Amino acid sequence: MILVTTRFPKIVEMVTKESNPIDLRGLDPDEFWKFFQICAFGRIQDEHGDQELIGIARKIADKLKCSPLAAKTVGRLLIKKPFQELWMKILDNKEWLEENHDNDIIPALKISYDYLPFHLKKCFSCFSLFPDDYKFGKLEIIRFWDSIGIIDYPKQNKKFEDIGSDYLDELLDNGFHIKGDDNNYVMHDLLHDLSRKVSLEECAYISCSTFEANEIPQSIRYLSIFMHDDIHVKSFEEGMEMKEFHVKNASVGFELGELGKLEVLGGELKISGLENVRTSQEAEEAKLMEKRNLVKLGLVWNSKQESTGDDILDSLKPHSNIRILCIVNHGGSVGPSWLCSNIIYMRNLETLHLERVSWANLPPIGQMYHLRKLKLKNILGISQIGPDFFGGTTEKSFTHLMEVQFYDMPDLVEWVGGANCHLFSRLEKISCTGCPMLTTLLISGWPISSSEGNTKWFPSLRDLYILRCPKLCLPPMPHTSMVSSIDTDCLSYYRTTLNIWKPSELVFHNLGDVERLTIWDESCFSFMDLQKIHSLRHIYRVQTLELRQFSLTRKSLSNLFECFPALSRLDVSTSSNEDHEEVVLQFPPSSSLRNVRFVGCKNLILPVDEEEGVGFCGISSLESVAIINCNKLFSRWPMGGGGVQTQSIIYPLPPSLKKLSLEGEVSTLPMALLANLTSLTSLELFNCKDITVDGFVSLITINLEHLYVHNRRDGEAEPYSVAADLLAVVARTKTLPAGSFQLVCLYVDSISAVLVAPICSRLSATLQRLSFDCDWRTEKLTEEQDEALRLLTSLRILWFNGCRALRSLPQGLHRLPSLQELRIWGTQKIRSLPKEGLPDSLRLLDIHNCSPEIYEECQKLRGTRPDIHIHDGLTIVDNKTSNILEETKKIQIRRKHAGSSSYMPNSAVDTHTPSTPDLSPLRSAA
């Protein structure tokens, strides 16, 4: 028996001569309504549901023709944004009026498409370039998106594969793809029809041999040709561009002769797979010389550099109008006569890129008078670049040359100019990377302590990049004031920012207006040199100074403030753990510092009396202080509170302070020393085990928005919890009425300290993020604690990390109306999710390094709560080999927040105590 399904009446007529067709309709209306409720609400609604939303959903369901595909696609749109206003907009959308027949669901799918972000619309529309029912792999489609420029690279360093994977997951979550059992992806034929509809003006798909090229609209940017037989391609409209052409190999690619038929091809063209061309006659069939509108041409062989006839490259002669030429991996021993002959044919060439070629002679670059950019990469055998290398020079040579790049040239020793140095006076950018033998760039023998003659060395240079060239000796930099960017193994400089990694000879008067200076090793920098030129206005402009591996002494600290009087931000970390002479922290009276950070300065002392000097308290502009592992900083301050003068009490920190972070402080430090900090908005106390609440004043919590109090757990010991004592004092304070707190983010190591009614009632209106880290005491929440948690009606993020005694989650989680994220890390005794379920508002459930039972519950949750994005990192470790059998599993069922507006187209394994989680999600969100 043969079963045929189709949406097209003509096919029905062809195959039903001796059979009775069955007309498949949608689901039964009642069953469809139940199914649609699951898609739109996550569950079937009862009388307790939002009746207004249910009413709107019923009207939308009536428009979906009882189609499961429409229900899934539109339902996923609704469930992400359960707002009456949005659902009414969807119900009143004019797209519904575009229905062509009773069973037409394209308008419903189009509405879901319209609400996609811009980048996903671009990705979706490009599927119109694939044939119906095409199965594609994940990496295949990601590379396709990247090749046509759809993937948007963010500022942070993220691989295009990861970005593309996110795009694909989002489309899958929105119901626009189906993932098969073979891990390939496929698109429903109706959605494929939609992709062709929305991309009609930009994408064209050709799958037959009868098309006429002149029928293709001029607006088309992307053309896909799937051949089933010989295709006779006629000329495209003038200006048509084909960015890449693959020479046929077996069943993949095209014959060069087909390229030859595109007579008026223009713009950019890259021909790859040229190793498949066997004869010069075959190469001539590309007819590149007739393509006078081509501007950029790339000729690429594979990386094997198989020996190929030199006449093949000769036969790929382009029109002389070419401006940009790139030749990669040619395996021949001789370059093409049209490029390497002394009779210049490529007279208009502006950019030349040669990579992995093995020619006996390179082109006469000195005679290419219009050349603006030269790039040589991975070419063996070139030891010197000089007059002979350039094929002779005249006064016209290099008059337009602005950029030179040398990459991975293992034999290159020197670039010598001799009497022709002046010819390179217009060069603006030089890049040399991976040239281990290079010793000279145009001029050699720089006087180390002098900058004389520097204006003769590339006087127009703006950008210099020298990396992995260990033998190259550069002049003192920047050699002229025109230089705006330098990147070497020793330093990086970009306009207002200077980073010094290794000792470097600097010309300070050419540095421009440096405002941010980072020094990674004190041997790189001489304060004595700075003192000689400290009158220069450029030094006075430095506002941010970062010193790494700094040797903190009385003299170096004094020199620092003398050389940089305009600092607003200072960040210092010391060079070793050794204790040096005690250094009393003394800021100049005129200091305008706003942010200070000291790391590992174990010999730094904070003065108590004004006779010793002015410490932090003398800086009225100070807003942020971070002290990390500075053991002696508060050692002179008495345990009972502030130091006493004859007139008044003094404190170590000024009342203007808004942010304070103390980490690893070993001194016995009473909270009384912080009693004057009533302007604090952020307080962080990490691993300060000897801090006491003696003299604590609750008023310092009034303006707090972020409070992080946590002591590190080492071994099996349960350390003193500063957070527990601090919050206990606040709970007992009757002078602070409910609603007096501004706290948005709270990060502590004690569950019981927070979950009491006096604390939660004060935090009810503001607290959005709550994290419990390494509470080893609490096994189960009491009824009183569960009731207190319910008071946190504004809570959006709840995090349990390393709470190894905790056996169950709060049973009242489902009653937190604003909770959107629940994270459970390294809490292995929890076996199940709450019996009463999770709140309807939850969007993310993040499980890592927990029990197998809770992972099983996550799998079940996948079917009942498709509105939740569940991320679980399941780690199983073999006791003998410690091999990771399964590191990360992802269940991606996302429900995004409202408000995104855009258009078309693993955590580490830890079998012991979990590490302290990265606070960046909490802090950045705050």
Residue predicted with more confidence, 337 or 917:
337
CB 290 within 8 A of CB 261: no
CA 505 to chain centre: 35
Give yes or no for residue 877 having a pLDDT over 90.
no
What per-residue confidence (pLDDT) applies to 906?
Answer: 31
Give residue 849's identity as a one-letter amino acid code.
Answer: N
Examine residue 227 and state whether it is found in any structural domain, yes or no: no
What per-residue confidence (pLDDT) applies to 528?
Answer: 55
Give yes or no for residue 739 having a pLDDT over 70.
no
Give 758-775 pLDDT, tens digit per residue.
889 888 889 999 999 988
What per-residue confidence (pLDDT) applies to 849?
Answer: 86
Highest mean pLDDT among 43-57, 306-320, 739-753: 739-753
Give yes or no for residue 716 having a pLDDT over 50.
yes
Q: Return the minimum-mean-pLDDT range out of 137-146, 449-458, 568-577, 761-770.
A: 449-458
Give yes or no for residue 340 having a pLDDT over 50.
yes
Question: What DSSP string runs through 21-53?
Answer: --------HHHHHHHHHHHHHSS---TTS-HHH
What per-residue confidence (pLDDT) applies to 52?
Answer: 79
Q: What is the 3-state secondary structure (H, E, C) of 735-759?
A: CCCCCCCCCCEEEECCHHHHCCHHH
What per-residue confidence (pLDDT) applies to 342?
Answer: 66
d(CA 371, CA 405): 13
Average pLDDT, the chain: 77
Give yes or no for residue 98 having a pLDDT over 80.
no
Among left, alpha and beta (phi > 0; psi -120 to 50; other), residue 774 is left
The closest of 381, 339, 386 to 364, measured between CA atoms, is 339
Give yes or no for residue 482 having a pLDDT over 60.
yes
What per-residue confidence (pLDDT) applies to 542?
Answer: 72
Examine residue 353 and state whether it is found in any structural domain, yes or no: no
What per-residue confidence (pLDDT) applies to 563?
Answer: 76
Q: Return the minimum-mean-pLDDT range out of 52-66, 263-277, 775-789.
A: 52-66
Total count of domains within the chain: 1
Examine residue 79 and state whether it is found in any structural domain, yes or no: yes
Give yes or no for residue 166 having a pLDDT over 80.
yes
Examine residue 77 and state whether it is found in any structural domain, yes or no: yes
% pLDDT > 70, the chain = 77
Examine residue 95 and state whether it is found in any structural domain, yes or no: yes
Confidence of residue 325 (pLDDT cuts 50, 70, 90): very high
Confidence of residue 886 (pLDDT cuts 50, 70, 90): very low
Give yes or no for residue 307 having a pLDDT over 50.
yes
The closest of 113, 110, 111, 147 to 129, measured between CA atoms, is 147
Show the domain range for 83: 29-106
Highest mean pLDDT among 44-58, 439-453, 699-713: 699-713
CB 208 within 8 A of CB 229: no
Examine residue 628 and state whether it is found in any structural domain, yes or no: no
The arithmetic mean of pLDDT across residues 29-43, rounded, is 81
Examine residue 34 and state whether it is found in any structural domain, yes or no: yes
What per-residue confidence (pLDDT) applies to 648?
Answer: 56
Confidence of residue 889 (pLDDT cuts 50, 70, 90): very low
The arithmetic mean of pLDDT across residues 19-23, rounded, is 70
Give 425-469 pLDDT, tens digit per residue.
888 999 999 999 998 887 655 444 444 445 567 888 899 999 999
Give yes or no for residue 355 having a pLDDT over 60.
yes
Examine residue 888 and state whether it is found in any structural domain, yes or no: no
Highest mean pLDDT among 60-74, 788-802, 851-865: 788-802
Highest mean pLDDT among 43-52, 271-280, 867-876: 271-280
Three-class SS of residue 788? helix
d(CA 750, CA 772): 6
d(CA 708, CA 919): 10
Question: In angstroms, how far is the first alpha carbon of the chain from the final one?
Answer: 64
The arithmetic mean of pLDDT across residues 375-383, rounded, is 90
What per-residue confidence (pLDDT) applies to 575?
Answer: 66
Three-class SS of residue 716? coil
Give yes or no for residue 234 having a pLDDT over 60.
no
Confidence of residue 305 (pLDDT cuts 50, 70, 90): low
What per-residue confidence (pLDDT) applies to 394?
Answer: 77
The arithmetic mean of pLDDT across residues 863-886, rounded, is 51
Residue predicted with more confidence, 33 or 207:
33
Give 104-136 pLDDT, tens digit per residue.
667 777 777 877 888 888 888 888 888 877 888
Confidence of residue 572 (pLDDT cuts 50, 70, 90): confident
Give 483-505 pLDDT, tens digit per residue.
888 999 888 888 778 888 777 77
d(CA 397, CA 148): 37
Give residue 793's identity as a one-letter amino acid code.
Answer: T
